[in-house]
Structure 1
Amino acid sequence: MGLWRKRRTILATILVCVTAGLAVALLKPKEYVYSTLIQLGTYPDDRGTLLQVMSAEAALSTLNTAIVPTLVSQHARQQYIDPKTFKIAASNSGGGNQGGGGSMVTLAGQGPLKDQAVFFAIETQAAKQLAQITAGRSNAAVGNITAQLDQAKIQMHTLQDPTQIESEKAVLLETMLAAQGNLANLKQQVGVLKQKLGSLDKTETLDQGLVSKLEEYLGKTQQASLQAIDANSATQAMTALLLNNQMQQNMQQLHSIQQKLTLELPQELADTQAALASNLNQQKVQQQALSRANFALENYGTQHARKVQKQQTVIARLGAQLQALTPTRVVAEPTRSAEPVGIGRGVLVVFSGFFGVFLGLFFALMGGYVQEVRARLRAQAEVSTMPNALKSDKRASPDRDAGRVEVSLQSGAVARIESNEAARGNVAAV
C-alpha cells in the first residue's frame, strides 16, 4: 500500500529517465569502426627462405608509439579538435595468405560518421610511412636478387652461344689429341728406357767378367814378378819392373771397373728403372685424360644440355625469389563498418527505463522514510510541549487534564505504530 500511494512518484521518475535516455539516444551520433589492413613485406635470405622486413611486434610498436600519435596530433591541430577524440590502434592480425605470407597488421579506429575522412587519411598515411620505413631492406634485397638474375642470364647466353659451343668442342678435341700425342711419346720413351736397361745389364755382365779376368791376370803377373825377382839377374829385374808397372795399371783399371760396378752402374740402373716407372704412371695419367676428353667430346651434347637445364633452374629460382619479395603494402583500403557500433538506441532507452524503475523505487522509499522521521519528530515535539500547556490552563480540572494527556499520548503512539507499519510494508514490497 505504501508503494501504491507513491505510484505517481515512481511513474514520473520512470518517465523522466526514459525521456532523458531517448533524448541521449537521438542526440548521440552513431559511431562506426574505420579500419585498414597492412601486410608486412618479405625478402629471401641467401638460402631462399622468406623473412619479414620487420617483425609484427616492431611494426605494432612503431605504429602505436610513433606514427599514429604524430598523425593524430597533426590532424587534430588542423581540425581544431581534441586529439583524444581520434582513437586509432594497431593490432596483429596473424599470418597473411595473400601474395607473400607476411604478417598482417590492422589499423582500426572508432568515431562518428563526420570524422570518416580524417580516420581514412590517418590510416592511409600511417600505412605509407610504415612502408617507407621498411623499404630499405626490401630495396636492398631486390637489388641483390636482380644482380644475381642478370648474371645468371648472361651465363645462359654464353652457354647457348654457337661460337662458345664450337670453341668448347675444339678445346676438348685439342685436349684429346694432346693426350694421344703424350701417350705415344711416353710409349716411345719406354722402348728407349728398356733398351738402356738391357745395355746396362750387359755392361754389368761384361764388367764383372773383366774384373774376373783382371784379377786372374794380376795373380799371374804378381807370381811372374816374384819369380823374376828371385832370379837375381838384370834381365829378370827389368822384367820384374815391367811386370810391376803392368800390375799397377791393371789394378787401377780393376779399381775403376769395381767402382763403376758398385756405385755408378747401380745408380744408373736405379735412375733408369725410376724413369721407366714414372713413364708408366704418366701413361696411365694420359690414358685417363684421353678417356675423359674422349668421353666429354662424345657426350658433349648431353653435358651441355644439363648445364643449360641447371642454369635455367637457377634463373627460375631467382625469378621466384624476386616474385616472392613483397614490400610492405595495404591489402585492404580503409573501410567503414556496415553497422554502427556501441550501445544502440533501443538498448539505451530500455536501460533508461530500468534505471527509472529503480530510481523511482528509491525516491518512493526515501519519501516514506522521510515522512516517518517527520511524524516521529512531530510526536516527540507534541509530547515535550504538553506539560507547558497544562500549566498555562489553570482553570482546567486535574482529571480533565490527565484525560487530555492520556488521549494525546495515545494518539502519538497510534501515529507512530501506523508509520512503522507503513515503512515495513514499503520495504517488504521492494
Structure 2
Amino acid sequence: MSTNKESLQNIRHINTQQAQDTGVRYIMLESNHEDEINLLDIWLIIVKRRFLLLSVLLLCFLVGVYVALTAPLMYTWSTAIEVGVGDYDKTGVSRPVEAPSSVLAKLQQSYIPLETRKMINTGSGIVEVPAVNANLDKNGNIIFLDIKGSDENKALYTSLLNSIVDKVKQDHRRLSSLKRKDLELSLVSSENSLIRLKDHEQLLMSQYKRLDKKQALLETRIVETRGLLSASTQTREKMLRGASTESKVLLLMRTDSELRAHRTLLASLEEQRQITLENTRETMQIKLTENRQQQLEKNASIDRDKIQLENLLETRAIIEPIRSIDPVGTSQKLIIVVSLVAGLFLAVLAVFLIEFFEKARTYAAERG
C-alpha cells in the first residue's frame, strides 16, 4: 500500500510540475481499491461473523424441522364413477346413459359446488372445504373424483364424495328406468307376436294338410266322372246303331246333354287338381316360409332385448372413497432442505448487512 501511495504522489508531483511549465492543468483520478470486491475479504467477513451466520442457519433449520413435524399430513381421498349403459345403436354397440363429457361438465359446474355448499351449511363448524377434482378417463366412461386433506377430516371427505356420486346416480336412475321399461315392453310385445306367429303357423299347417285330402277327393271325383262319361258315351254309341225312332231321338238328346255336363265337370275337376290346388299349395308354402322367417326375426329380437336388459348397467361408484397409502404434497425432507437453503441465504445476507452497517457507522464517526 505504501508503494502505491508513493507512486501516486510522484505522479501528482510530475503533473503539477508539468502544469506549471506548460500552463495545462491535469486531473488525476485516484483508484479506490477499497471498493473492489475481494473474495478473501468476503471470506474474512464470514469468518468474523461466523457465530451470527451459524445462529441464523440453525434458527431456520429448527423452524423447518418444527414445520415439518407439526404440519398435518395431507392425503388424497378418491373414488370413480362409471357412467351406466342405457342404449344401443343400430349395430348393437352399447352407448352410455349420458355422454361422459356432459356428466363431467355437470359435476364441475353444478354437483360439486352444490354438495360442497351443502356440506358447509350443515352447521358443523366447517368454513372451507378443499376443492374436489373431477377428471374423465380418455376414451372411456369412467370419471375420477379426488380431494386432498388431512386425515382428521376423513369422514367429511368420504361423505362429500359419496353425496356427489349419489347425485349423479339419482340423475341417471330416471333415464335408466325409462330405458329398462322400454326394453321390457319391447320384449313382451315380441313374445306375444311370436306366440301369434306360432298359432298362425299351426293354422297354415292344418290348411296345408287339408289340401292333400282335397286332392284325394278331387281324384276320386275325377275317376267317377270319367266313369259316367264313359258310360254315357257307350250308351250313345248303342243308340246310334239301331233304327231311329222318336223315343230314341229324345233319349239321344238327353245322353248328349249328360255327355256335355260330364265333360264340363271333368274339365273343372282337372283344373282344380292341376292348377287351383297347386297354386293354393304354393301360396301356403310361401306363407309358411314367411311365417317362419318372421319367427326367426322375433326370436332374434327377443334375444337382443334380453341381452340388452342383462347388460343394462346403472351408473355406479366403482369403488368406495379410499385414502391414498402415502401422503401427498410437500414431504418433510423437502421442507427441511428448503429451510436449510433459505437459512443459508438469510444468514449470509444478515452477515453482510451487519458488516455494512458497522462500516457505515465507522465512516460516519470518522467524518464527524
TM-score of the superposed pair, with normalisation by structure 1: 0.57
Given the alignment, which residue of 278, 282, 299 partners 1:291? 282
Over 3 Å counting, the alpha-carbon distance change for 1:105 and 1:5 in structure 2 is same
Shift in Å at residue 292 of structure 1? 3.9
Shift in Å at residue 158 of structure 1? 4.6
Matched letter for residue 326 of structure 1:
L
Shift in Å at residue 127 of structure 1? 0.6
Which 5+ residue runs of structure 2 have no aligned equivalent? 1-43, 219-270
Match of 1:23 in 2: 66
**Alignment pair present for 1:170 and 2:206:** yes
What are the within-5 Å matches in structure 2 for residues 9-408 of structure 1?
Answer: 9-45=52-88, 47=90, 48-78=92-122, 79-83=124-128, 85-96=129-140, 103-158=141-196, 165-173=201-209, 287-293=278-284, 295=285, 309-381=296-368
Identity of aligned residues (%): 20
Shift in Å at residue 146 of structure 1? 0.9
Shift in Å at residue 58 of structure 1? 1.8
Distance 2:212 2:311 in 1: 47
SS in 2 for 1:152: helix
Shift in Å at residue 145 of structure 1? 0.9
Distance 2:164 2:93 in 1: 28
Shift in Å at residue 114 of structure 1? 0.8
Match of 2:49 in 1: 6
TM-score of the superposed pair, with normalisation by structure 2: 0.66
Q: Deviations over 1:36-83 (max 9, x none)?
A: 100112222462442222222221221122222222222223321222
Shift in Å at residue 150 of structure 1? 1.6
Distance 2:283 2:168 in 1: 59
Over 3 Å counting, the alpha-carbon distance change for 1:59 and 1:308 in structure 2 is same
Over 3 Å counting, the alpha-carbon distance change for 1:115 and 1:175 in structure 2 is farther
Match of 1:401 in 2: none
Over 3 Å counting, the alpha-carbon distance change for 1:181 and 1:376 in structure 2 is farther
Size of the alignment, in residue pairs? 275
Over 3 Å counting, the alpha-carbon distance change for 1:315 and 1:108 in structure 2 is same
Over 3 Å counting, the alpha-carbon distance change for 1:362 and 1:305 in structure 2 is same
Q: Assess if the C-alpha contact under 8 Å between 1:179 and 1:289 holds in 2.
A: no
Matched letter for residue 50 of structure 1:
S
Over 3 Å counting, the alpha-carbon distance change for 1:303 and 1:180 in structure 2 is farther
Over 3 Å counting, the alpha-carbon distance change for 1:70 and 1:380 in structure 2 is same
Q: Assess if the C-alpha contact under 8 Å between 1:30 and 1:113 holds in 2.
A: yes
SS in 1 for 2:157: helix
Q: Assess if the C-alpha contact under 8 Å between 1:39 and 1:331 holds in 2.
A: yes
Shift in Å at residue 172 of structure 1? 3.0
Indicate the RMSD between aligned Cα atoms, in angstroms.
3.5
Q: Assess if the C-alpha contact under 8 Å between 1:44 and 1:50 holds in 2.
A: yes
Shift in Å at residue 169 of structure 1? 1.1
SS in 2 for 1:94: coil
